[in-house]
Amino acid sequence: MPPTRTVPTPGTGVPPEAVTPLMRGIAVVRRLTDAGGALSLSDLERATGLARSTVDRVTGTLARMGYLRLDGRDVSLAPGLMALGNAYLAALRLPELLGRHAEALADELDESVSLAVSDGDGIRFIRQATRRRTMSLSFRIGDLLPAERTAPGALFAAGWSSVQWKRWAAHRAADPEGLGFPSLPPRDRPENKPLGRAVAGFEERVAQARERGWAVDDQLIEPGLIALAAPVHDPEGRVACAVSVVSHTSRHSAASLPDALLPRLRTAVEAMERALLRDSPAPAPSGPAGLAAWTGASKQQLGRGFVESLARGLTVLTAFGEGRGTLTLTAVAEATGLARATARRALITLEHLGYVASDAGTFRLTPQVLALGFPPLSRTTLSQIAAPHLAALAQRVHDSTSLAVLAGDDVQYTARVATGRIMSVNITIGTRFPAYATSMGRVLLAGLPPAERAARLARTELRPLTPRTLTGRPELAALLDRVHREGYALVDEELEEGLRSIAVPVRDRGGAVVAALNVAMHSSRRSVGECVTGLLPELRATAAGIEADLHVAGRFTRIPAV
């Protein structure tokens, strides 16, 4: 069961200009995020305290925006929602500028390295370079942890004012179970009860951190998990983020951690601070214009079912981004195409809820924007992203459709929607076939860099699987060139008699082919010509849909195949 927390009721402290539908939409996204990404409509109704008709309209609007997926009675977060967290991370610049250094440190130490920023009285992760993990949990981008239970928290708290300390103490007293931190491990296990210890020793650890310039987490979150953190300063000397090396008591002790890792951590921090110093703010590219027109069109199509003020309000978050870290009201209105008054009310609402901060007439996003779906969505795999697209394609063409990746010299199925059985063997997730004799395999081979493709072709044994299997090496090399040029492969009874299939590539943000998508059928279903005229456009449209999701989801996180 999801933790049930009620939505703050408008009326107390809510500015009169606040946009209620925007607040409701955000409440829905937050409940889904805290529940791990999915809820039934009735659980959502209960968790938000909203009327069913309101939940229906809010979820319908968010689904239309590509932020949620509706599947019968179930609602889940959709990859498109990551556009909001992406706007924050792009505006922040730190993942882009420091990510490379975090990865290098993780490689060198063979330990996980993370970057975290201060968020209220907690820390929020903005980058994870995960290596070996012995512990059961691993945090994701967007996860929020209480400051007192982490190494970075002690560093951030070293700069807290007395007001911030008072706020921290009040929050902990009001929420001793830590329910406001859904990514903490379950607290019902006896070993996960060091909350009191963490709170009690915090001020002392903060004083030490201030003095030393580094901090240690000695199993404050989970038995075995230890971490060493150091601050990264921006050119103005403020703490921009903290970098942590996360280890385990089977490899180090909390006492030996500084001796073993501090010198290398310090070198990494210096490199990071140099990277921040060198960064000259990128010229602000123009924002995502014309969004107001888009929401208007959706309103016309969906009528009462589309809550335009919610769509417009969320659109305001996407006005921010790389080179657009702080914006004036005028710039937000221009980027979104919204009327100034509309943009202003949305900003007031978002600031009231803590997603936007303002300073002398300019606005910026806060780390809390990552609480809008990022942690559960950053666990998404390519096969999960593809699944609803495959289902829609199978329904349109009435044939089986699959996604596969290269595994050695084979293709390996990673997602599939089957309609009846067309092969002598039953294909399931994980099934492998020789790449050279399948449409998906040829698309994947054709997508390899030329040298790698040639090397692979040279070492693969080409056996005839049917009388039609192409086994000549030069012929296959020429065919792969053609597949590369034309962007699809059609294989006709070369893997199994009576089986015909056609495949297209799925590319990541950088243009690399990361998977292949196919439709397979009995050869009596369609002629080769009909496959090209009828199926190829459908396959291309489906691949484009998968790619659109993948490119949003993969901007700041690595998306594994399965």
The amino acid present at 322, given as its one-letter code, is E
Binding to ligand PHB by residue 221, rule CB under 6 A? yes
Question: Which lies closer to ligand PHB via its Cβ, residue 36 or residue 66?
Answer: 36
Closer by beta carbon to ligand PHB, 34 or else 148: 148
Three-state SS for 410-474 is EEEEEEEECCCCCCCCCCCCCCEEEHHHCHHHHHHHHCCCHHHHHHHHHHCCCCCCCCCCCCCHH
Determine the size of the site formed for ligand PHB (CB under 6 A): 12
Decide if residue 217 touches ligand PHB (CB under 6 A). Answer: yes
Non-local CB neighbours of 258 within 8 Å, separated by 6+ positions: 214, 216, 228
The answer to whether the beta carbons of residues 343 and 332 sit under 8 Å apart is yes
- Phi then psi for residue 142, to 5 deg, are 100, -20
> Nearest distance from residue 117's CB to ligand PHB, in Å?
12
CA–CA separation, 313 vs 193, rounded Å? 40
Residue 125 or 488 with smaller CB distance to ligand PHB: 125
State the minimum distance, in angstroms, from the CB of residue 238 to ligand PHB.
20
Q: Smallest distance from the beta carbon of 101 to ligand PHB, in angstroms?
A: 15
Residue 494 binds ligand PHB (CB under 6 A):
no
**Complex with ligand PHB: residue 133 or 525, whichever CB lies closer:** 133
Applying CB under 6 A, the span of 43-51, 147-155, 421-429, 468-476 interacting with ligand PHB comes to: 147-155
Q: What's the CA gap between 388 and 70, in Å, rounded? A: 11
246 touching ligand PHB, by CB under 6 A:
yes
Return d(Cα 232, Cα 235) in angstroms, integer.
Answer: 10
Say if residues 59 and 66 touch (Cβ distance below 8 Å). no
Does 118 engage in binding with ligand PHB (CB under 6 A)?
no
Number of separate helices (H) and strands (E) present in the chain: 20, 18
Residue 125 or 306 with smaller CB distance to ligand PHB: 125
Which member of 54, 61, 76, 244 binds ligand PHB (CB under 6 A)?
Answer: 244
The site map against ligand PHB for 59-98 (x = CB under 6 A) is: ----------------------------------------
Long-range contacts, 522-531 (Cβ 8 Å, 24+): 522/422, 522/498, 523/492, 523/493, 523/498, 523/499, 524/498, 525/399, 525/500, 526/500, 528/490, 528/492, 528/500, 531/490, 531/500, 531/502
436 belongs to the binding site for ligand PHB (CB under 6 A):
no
- Give the nearer residue to ligand PHB in terms of CB position, either 112 or 309: 112
Q: How many residues does the chain have?
A: 562
Q: For ligand PHB, give the closer residue by CB, 151 or 265.
A: 151
Options 7-15, 29-37, 150-158, 458-466: segment touching ligand PHB (CB under 6 A): 150-158
Q: Which of 33, 86, 150, 366 binds ligand PHB (CB under 6 A)?
A: 150
* Closer to ligand PHB by Cβ: residue 198 or 531: 198
* Contacts (Cβ under 8 Å, ≥6 apart) of 340: 329, 330, 333
Of the pair 112, 378, the CB lying nearest ligand PHB is at 112
Among 35, 90, 227, 291, binds ligand PHB (CB under 6 A): 227
Coil, strand, or helix at residue 134? coil
- Of 141 and 552, the one with the shorter C-beta distance to ligand PHB is 141
383 touches 391 (CB < 8 A): no
Residue 117 binds to ligand PHB (criterion: CB under 6 A): no
Cβ 330 vs Cβ 340: under 8 Å: yes
139 binds ligand PHB, rule: CB under 6 A: yes
Q: Judged by CB under 6 A, does residue 386 bind ligand PHB?
A: no
With respect to ligand PHB, which residue has the nearer C-beta, 50 or 198?
198
**Does residue 557 interact with ligand PHB by CB under 6 A?**
no
For residue 252, the minimal CB distance to ligand PHB (Å) is 14
Asked whether position 151 contacts ligand PHB by CB under 6 A, the answer is yes
- Give 114 or 315: the residue with its C-beta nearer to ligand PHB: 114
> What φ, ψ does residue 285 adopt, rounded to 5°?
-70, 160
Q: How far is the CB of 283 from ligand PHB (least distance, A)?
A: 33
Contacts of 483 (CB under 8 A, 6+ apart): 442, 443, 445, 446, 489
d(CA 246, CA 225): 7
Q: Which stretch binds ligand PHB (CB under 6 A): 6-14, 146-154, 164-172, 440-448?
A: 146-154
In this structure, which amino acid lies at residue 30?
Answer: R
Token digits for 175? Answer: 């929420």
The Cα–Cα gap between 386 and 375 comes to 19
Q: Are 68 and 77 in contact (CB under 8 A)?
A: yes
Instruction: Figure out which of the listed residues 59, 86, 114, 378 binds ligand PHB, where binding follows CB under 6 A.
Output: 114
Residues making contact with ligand PHB (CB under 6 A) = 112, 114, 139, 150-152, 217, 221, 227, 229, 244, 246
